[in-house]
């Protein structure tokens, strides 16, 4: 298909607001609307209203107002913050459980033992080790990393419990995926109440994807996550919409409950939903009965 030259011009917040009003969007507080257009951005805000516009007439559906946009924007923002907090708790729990188990089973430098891994073309040992080396190099100014490097040169990298404080959650997800021994995979998964390693693998991959979306200010409303956590049939946890935020939220709730550590995930969701009644929770894949669904 032939490509053309981009010819759209930038518009001022005032021009954008006038365009929205001309499309049938009621605005009860123009000054507040301009604040959102100035400091959240017209293009970003479009993600919260485009679904409410008739594709033919280009007019907003009856009853939709700028207040709906504000509530959607604020709910999404608060949801991202709550999601990061919840996954932060799980990230530490998962990396700790993995590091402890693998260190006891295969030694403090298990990540250098190629025999315990079954690498793939997408995630090979070279890439795996290089990632660890790079993260350790970036963290060499930290006291606990510097202490090892100042006192030891064999092995050339610090032990697992030091590494775990340096590398990303994504690396732990990749590590679990390439563990060779089914017994290792199953033992780690069972620490979180999951007796099917493939399910646990898909769940922690889901957590890394959702965390990245939230950390980079991605939208959670009406968005397919691009990752599908597997159903956990042994516990009757089945996702009707596997790529919905609800599926990921259920994974977070279930895994948090297995740690028995303090958390407020469910309560945070309840209070956020109650605070923004103009936003249908169905836009996140939630039903009216979500609080009593399996896994919650």
The pLDDT, as a whole number, for residue 121 is 87
Q: What is the pLDDT of residues 159-198, one digit of tens each?
A: 999 999 999 999 999 999 999 999 999 999 999 999 999 9
State how far the Cα of 286 lies from the Cα of 247, in Å rounded to an integer. Answer: 9
Contact present, 71 and 279 (Cβ < 8 Å):
yes
Mean pLDDT of the chain, nearest integer: 95
pTM: 0.93
Contact present, 181 and 116 (Cβ < 8 Å):
yes
Window from 31-35, 65-69, 140-144, 212-216 with minimum mean pLDDT:
140-144
Residue 140 has pLDDT above 90, yes or no: no
Residue 122 has pLDDT above 90, yes or no: no
CA distances from 210 to 40, 103, 207, 215, 226 (A): 21, 28, 5, 8, 9
Average pLDDT of 194-214? 96
Q: What is the pLDDT of residues 11-42, one digit of tens each?
A: 999 999 999 999 999 999 999 999 999 999 99
The pLDDT, as a whole number, for residue 124 is 87
The pLDDT, as a whole number, for residue 240 is 84
Residue 123 has pLDDT above 90, yes or no: no
């Amino acid at each position: 298909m032939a490509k053309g030259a981009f010819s759209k011009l930038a518009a001022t917040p005032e021009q954008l607001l006038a365009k929205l009003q001309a499309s049938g969007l009621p605005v009860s507080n123009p000054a507040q609307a301009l604040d959102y257009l100035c400091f959240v951005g017209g293009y970003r805000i479009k993600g919260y209203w485009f679904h409410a516009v008739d594709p033919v007439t280009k007019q907003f559906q009856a009853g939709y107002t700028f207040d709906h946009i504000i509530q959607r924007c604020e709910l999404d923002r608060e949801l991202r913050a709550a999601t990061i907090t919840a996954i932060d708790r799980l990230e530490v729990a998962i990396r700790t459980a993995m590091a402890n188990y693998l260190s006891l089973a295969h030694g403090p430098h298990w990540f250098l033992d190629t025999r315990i891994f079954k690498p793939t073309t997408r995630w090979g040992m070279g890439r795996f080790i290089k990632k660890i080396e790079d993260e350790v190099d970036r963290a060499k100014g930290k006291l606990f990393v510097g202490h090892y490097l100042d006192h030891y040169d064999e092995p050339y990298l610090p032990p697992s419990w030091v590494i775990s404080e340096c590398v990303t959650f994504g690396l732990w997800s990749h590590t679990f995926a390439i563990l060779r021994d089914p017994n290792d995979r199953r033992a780690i998964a069972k620490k979180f109440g999951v007796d099917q390693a493939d399910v646990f693998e898909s769940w922690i991959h889901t957590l890394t994807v959702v965390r990245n979306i939230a950390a980079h200010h991605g939208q959670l409303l009406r968005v397919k996550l691009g990752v599908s956590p597997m159903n956990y049939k042994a516990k009757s946890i089945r996702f009707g919409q596997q790529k919905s935020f609800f599926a990921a939220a259920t994974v977070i709730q279930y895994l948090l409950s297995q740690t028995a550590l303090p958390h407020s995930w469910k309560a945070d969701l309840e209070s956020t939903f109650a605070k923004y009644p103009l936003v249908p929770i169905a836009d996140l894949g939630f039903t009216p009965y979500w609080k009593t669904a399996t896994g919650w």
